Amino acid sequence: MDYEKEFEIKDHKYRSSTLTNGLGRSGQRALLYATGMDEEDMKKPFVAVIGSFSEMVPGHVHMRELAEQVKQGILEAGGVPKLSETIAICDGLCQGHKGMCYPLASRDLIADSVEMVVEAHHFDAMVLLAGCDKIIPGMLMAAARLDIPAVIVTGGPMLPGNVGGNPLFCSCELREYPGRVEKGVCTVEEMKSAEQEALPTAGSCAHLGTANSMCMLTEVLGMSLPGAGTAPAVSNKRKRIAKASGRAVMKLLEKGITPRQILTREALLNGVAGAMATGSSTNLVLHLMAIAHEAGVELNLEDFDRISREVPFICNLQPSGKYPIVSLDANGGIPAVLKTIESKIFLDQMTVTGKRLGEMLESVEAVPGDVLRTLENPQKPEGGIAVLYGNLAPEGAVIKQSGVKESMYYFKGRARVFHSMEEADAAISSDQIGKGTVIVIQYEGPKGGPGMREMLSTTALIMGRGMDEDCALITDGRFSGATHGPCVGHISPEAAAGGPIAFVQDGDVIEIDIHNRSISIQVSEEEFARRKEGWVPLKKPRKPALAKYSALVSSAAQGAVIDVSRL
């Protein structure tokens, strides 16, 4: 008797046949039966549904409901969905304290966890659900790394709050309230009331922070279905997209379309163009380069700066503009944005719909207005992010120029140096920062932080106290998508790696020139050489997870990716 043929349950073209087929797989089949599967199920493709539910994170608290919609779509299309979860950290909850060391490091842990469960269990395809800052890029990195049919389902934005009669209120403004209270322009009671009204629903924060920047970017890249970038988290539209994503991944499996066929260099350049047009978070620089790294695609800071000069900022979205994300959704969403910049992007890119981007845009009409401007009448003539170079940042630095007042496109001042965000915050709150100061925060980079903390508490104090035309901030750390104002981050090399920022001293003259893309310090090479003599980098306390991350992470100029060549 041919025992092997007796157990040819599934077509060998499916990866999951490794679990189901063959005489020697009796134990694996028994374990699958133990989950409630039957023999008919074992004949079908196995699809991983990897969520990121968390009761602690507003952007993820609704993820299990979306996962059920995804599973229904997979079942309808003939697959067998299996749900598991990865972690989700809320950057907003981490702001202003040591917890902010962890979100960026979690991006790689999330990618690793998806790799582990998918490869260990030989899934044939996957749908990945994520809603917030580092979870979405972590899952996109995993999709590029594993290269099996995949669709990303993003969680979507929450609805805006209604605070003080403003129905478009977003939490990015709330972050400025402490500074307003300190200056006496807002009462404690007003702040407490705003806290309760600012975030009315589940979903990622209502403005164009990193979370919604990543939601929209995923759609631009073609890794999520149309509408996924902006549909409100609590809408039935979001649920329909989730179910349709389950069906879509089965079509991708049938056609053999995998993420690396979608995440080409051209698609990633489209992602950069989309980020520039929308005024997205500077964190997208890190994340796009990390996704490119996993996809085996070249992408560098020069690409960002070149496209920034070519693609104007056209979306009037908070924090750089007036409206929340749901307003863009009501005005056509990402398809309308892409239609508006159609002449600036590559249209022959495959998407998870199975169609090329150009095909999808044929039926799209962009209606210009106050939310979405035109190329001829943009919010600003250049893209939302600028890349600066100079003797203070030889490998580059980034700034969200869409959120900077024109009066601050050039700024020259004297340095006031701090070794941490907390030290800088204390100095600002105690009125120790005078006009003409460049606040310098060292040792907050990927290695030095470790974890490259966001400086949102610092930038919010600057904005809330009305200091955004009096001083500037530079750091080897990074900024929240909620940040706006004269704030330069990602200065590379970082202080912990011996970059020039490590040797800045109080009183040094620093010049920031956004128009000319430069950031420089008026210190001679000879003086820098003297300061470097006997230098030992500051090493901050770290627990094991961050110690491992610090030892392996690359420069922000390369996307702060894990450098496996060191292993």
- Give which of 356, 358, 361, 52 is closest to 211, Cα–Cα: 52
Which pLDDT band holds residue 483 (cuts at 50, 70, 90)?
A: confident
pLDDT at position 118, please?
98
Higher-pLDDT residue of 345, 99: 345
Whether residue 480 lies in the annotated active site: yes
Q: Which residues contact 284 (CB under 8 A, 6 or more apart)?
A: 210, 213, 214, 217, 271, 275, 385
Q: Check if the beta carbon of residue 227 is closer than 8 Å to that of residue 241.
A: yes
Tens digits of residue pLDDT in 119-167: 999 999 999 999 998 999 999 999 999 999 999 999 999 999 898 889 9
Q: Which of 113, 281, 320, 480 is catalytic?
A: 480
Higher-pLDDT residue of 2, 10: 10
Q: Check if the beta carbon of residue 414 is closer than 8 Å to that of residue 331.
A: no
Q: Where are the beta strands (DSSP E) in 200-239?
A: none
Tens digits of residue pLDDT in 285-310: 999 999 999 999 999 999 999 999 99
Q: Is the pLDDT of residue 1 over 70?
A: no
Tens digits of residue pLDDT in 55-69: 999 999 999 999 999
pLDDT at position 92, please?
86
pLDDT at position 369, please?
95
Residue 412 is given by DSSP the state E
Which pLDDT band holds residue 7 (cuts at 50, 70, 90)?
A: confident
Q: Check if the beta carbon of residue 80 is closer than 8 Å to that of residue 253.
A: no
H or E element in which residue 424 lies: helix 421-429
Instruction: Give the pTM.
Output: 0.95
- Give which of 128, 131, 272 is closest to 205, Cα–Cα: 131
Mean pLDDT computed over every residue of the chain: 94
Higher-pLDDT residue of 480, 373: 373
Which pLDDT band holds residue 260 (cuts at 50, 70, 90)?
A: very high
Tens digits of residue pLDDT in 323-370: 999 999 999 999 999 999 999 999 999 999 999 999 999 999 999 999
pLDDT at position 481, please?
65
Tens digits of residue pLDDT in 510-537: 999 999 999 999 999 999 999 999 999 9
Report the DSSP beta bridge partners of residue 471. Answer: 437
Sorted by where each starts, the structural domains of the chain and their CATH numbers stand as 44-159+201-255 (3.40.50.2300), 387-566 (3.50.30.80)
Instruction: State the average pLDDT over residues 175-200.
Output: 87
